[in-house]
């Protein structure tokens, strides 16, 4: 018999039918003449209640099971007399795939802290909180693809190994290519790790933007959705060494169009998850952060605030607040400043645009004032910077000067400069940090708890 996912069984209307359910035991309880097993298969938050009566020949085996055991149950799906569930499963046959030793299995009935769960990243997906976050992550990914596909964007797979530093910030992981069977040795016979990528420098990508610009120069509207890497040693609740980024890039588009897209995009994703993942969102609201549903509804109902960087500095200066980092025109906004603007001043997402040239990357388009660039960041309550984007410098001469001023070697960017020599066009795009979006949506405080396998300066377990 084919198994049915528990999410489907719980909404099934054809009752008194034989079914097969498979999953892991969350809890086991015995009443006077019954054994109850709560079975979960990750398809949804809710468990399927399995009943084994005392007179059943299965009773002893069922009563001997533990939290974490993997189980298949054949039985009759019947209407449940219990409150809070429509159906339950009367067991007729049990397949025990594997029990879990209660003396060592770390996930017991009580609630565990997220810090503790980080130490068992291989088991934490079995908890309610991580199940909910991982399903919301999946819904967001689907929403993102659907948003761009509906608008005619072409999904581009940009490389993970690159030869250039998109952000020019020097936060690159270098790639060393060597064959484990033929390790290079130095004169003393020690392994020489100084080899690079087939004789040339290579890095893990910090952003797919430059490659996306190539593609937008041919296909007009593209987006990337892939892993990116930053060798910044920031041990914060918002930084990962490996994170996923979504980067749309549009030809024939300016900064205003870029901001409009970012706003419509976030509204679409929130709307989608409110429709498809509401049970998991409600769980996060209850367990993680009591404000997330209100935030989600505000996102889709209200337009975002917009203000220039210069205005933002003025607002911060007259806020009367004491910040740890200085507020001064020309300095970058720190997370405390970003959060003040979104959380306290605007009480909703705010798009800050036209940043000082000196604090932004070489590719951002120089404004007429020559002191600012056509950059924009979407700042949101709790998380701070969620999106960073800009109109790109499409003028060859200006771009060349910007590269030189920032001490970057134009020879490395020859192909990027070529795009400005052949059919150059105003274009713009942005990057959304996927994990920051999941943090914002679920209320999770630490970015390590919204990605299945966090990579941070703490090191890598597996």
Q: Closest CB to ligand 4AD among 10 and 373?
A: 373
Please choose, from the candidates 313, 229, 316, 302, the residue with its C-alpha nearest in 3D space to the C-alpha of residue 270. 302
The DSSP string of 117-175 is HHTTTTTGGGSHHHHHHHHHHHHHHHHHHHHHHHTTPEEE---SEESS-TT-S----B-
Using CB positions, name the residue nearest to Mg ion: 388
Task: Please select the residue that binds ligand 4AD; options are 209, 372, 391, 424, rule is CB under 6 A.
Answer: 209
Output the CA torsion 73→74→79→82 (10° steps). Answer: -20
> Do 345 and 332 meet the contact criterion of CB atoms below 8 Å apart?
no
Query: Distance of CA 292 to CAs 237, 289, 296, 336, Å?
Result: 18, 6, 6, 20
By the rule CB under 6 A, 46 interacts with ligand 4AD: no
Residue 213 interacting with ligand 4AD (CB under 6 A) = no
- For residues 130 and 42, give the distance between their C-alpha atoms in angstroms, rounded to a whole number: 10
Q: Residues in the site for Mg ion, rule: CB under 5 A?
A: 388
CA distance 374 to 389: 9
> CB neighbours of 333 closer than 8 A, spacing ≥ 6?
309, 312, 341, 352, 377, 379
Which of the ranges 238-246, 293-301, 307-315, 409-417 carries the binding residues for ligand 4AD, by CB under 6 A?
238-246
Residue 67 binds which entry of ligand 4AD, Mg ion, none, with Cβ cut-offs from 5 to 8 Å by kind?
none
Task: Please provide residue 131's backbone torsions phi and psi, each rounded to the nearest 5 degrees.
Answer: -55, -45
Q: How far is the CB of 242 from ligand 4AD (least distance, A)?
A: 8
The nearest distance, CB 213 to ligand 4AD, in angstroms, is 9
Site string for ligand 4AD, 348-387 (x = CB under 6 A): -------------------------------------xxx
Among 41, 167, 263, 449, which residue sits at the site for ligand 4AD (rule: CB under 6 A)?
167
243 touches which of Mg ion, ligand 4AD, none (CB within 5 to 8 A by kind)?
ligand 4AD
Greatest pairwise CA separation for the chain in angstroms: 86
CB 165 within 8 A of CB 232: no
Answer yes or no whether residue 239 interacts with ligand 4AD by CB under 6 A: yes
**Residue 456 binds which one of ligand 4AD, Mg ion, none, with CB within 5 to 8 A depending on kind?**
none
CB nearer ligand 4AD, residue 107 or residue 231: 231
Task: Summarize as ranges the residues that interact with ligand 4AD (CB under 6 A).
Answer: 166-167, 207, 209, 230, 232, 239-240, 243, 245, 247, 385-390, 429-431, 433, 435-436
């Amino acid at each position: 018999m084919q198994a049915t996912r528990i999410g489907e069984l719980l909404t099934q209307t054809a009752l008194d039918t034989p079914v097969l359910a498979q999953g892991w035991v969350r809890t086991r309880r015995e009443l006077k003449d019954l054994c109850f097993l709560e079975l979960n298969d990750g398809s949804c938050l809710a468990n399927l209640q399995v009943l084994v009566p005392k007179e059943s020949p299965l009773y002893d085996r069922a009563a001997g099971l533990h939290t974490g055991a993997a189980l298949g149950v054949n039985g009759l799906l019947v209407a449940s007399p219990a409150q809070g569930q429509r159906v339950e499963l009367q067991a007729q046959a049990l397949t025990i795939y594997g029990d879990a030793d209660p003396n060592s299995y770390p996930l017991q009935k009580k609630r565990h802290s997220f810090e503790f769960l980080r130490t068992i990243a291989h088991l934490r997906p079995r908890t309610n909180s991580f199940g909910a976050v991982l399903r919301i992550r999946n819904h967001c990914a689907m929403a993102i693809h659907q948003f761009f596909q509906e608008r005619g964007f072409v999904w581009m797979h940009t490389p993970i190994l690159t030869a250039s530093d998109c952000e020019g910030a020097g936060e690159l992981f270098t790639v060393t290519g060597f064959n484990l069977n033929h390790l290079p040795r130095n004169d003393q016979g020690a392994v020489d790790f100084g080899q690079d990528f087939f004789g040339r420098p290579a890095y893990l990508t910090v952003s797919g933007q430059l490659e996306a610009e190539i593609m937008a120069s041919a296909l007009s509207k593209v987006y990337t959705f892939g892993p990116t890497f930053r060798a910044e040693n920031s041990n914060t609740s918002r930084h990962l060494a490996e994170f996923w980024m979504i980067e749309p890039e549009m030809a024939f588009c300016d900064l205003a169009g870029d901001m409009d897209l970012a706003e419509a995009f976030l509204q679409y994703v929130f709307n989608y998850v409110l429709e498809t993942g509401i049970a998991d969102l409600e769980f996060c609201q209850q367990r993680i952060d009591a404000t997330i549903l209100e935030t989600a509804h505000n996102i889709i109902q209200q337009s975002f605030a917009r203000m220039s960087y210069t205005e933002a500095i003025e607002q911060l200066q007259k806020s009367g607040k004491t910040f740890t980092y200085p507020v001064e025109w020309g300095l970058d906004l720190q997370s405390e400043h970003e959060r003040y603007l979104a959380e306290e001043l605007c009480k909703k997402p705010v798009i800050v645009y036209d940043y000082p040239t000196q604090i932004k990357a070489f590719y951002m388009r120089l404004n007429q004032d020559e002191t600012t660039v056509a950059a924009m960041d979407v700042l949101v309550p709790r998380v701070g910077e969620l999106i960073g984007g800009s109109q790109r410098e499409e003028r060859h001469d200006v771009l060349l000067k910007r590269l030189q001023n920032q001490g970057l070697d134009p020879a490395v960017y020859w192909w990027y400069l070529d795009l400005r020599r052949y059919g150059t066009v105003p274009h713009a795009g942005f990057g959304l940090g996927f994990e920051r979006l999941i943090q914002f949506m679920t209320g999770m405080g630490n970015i390590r708890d919204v990605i299945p396998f966090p990579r941070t300066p703490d090191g890598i377990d597996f």
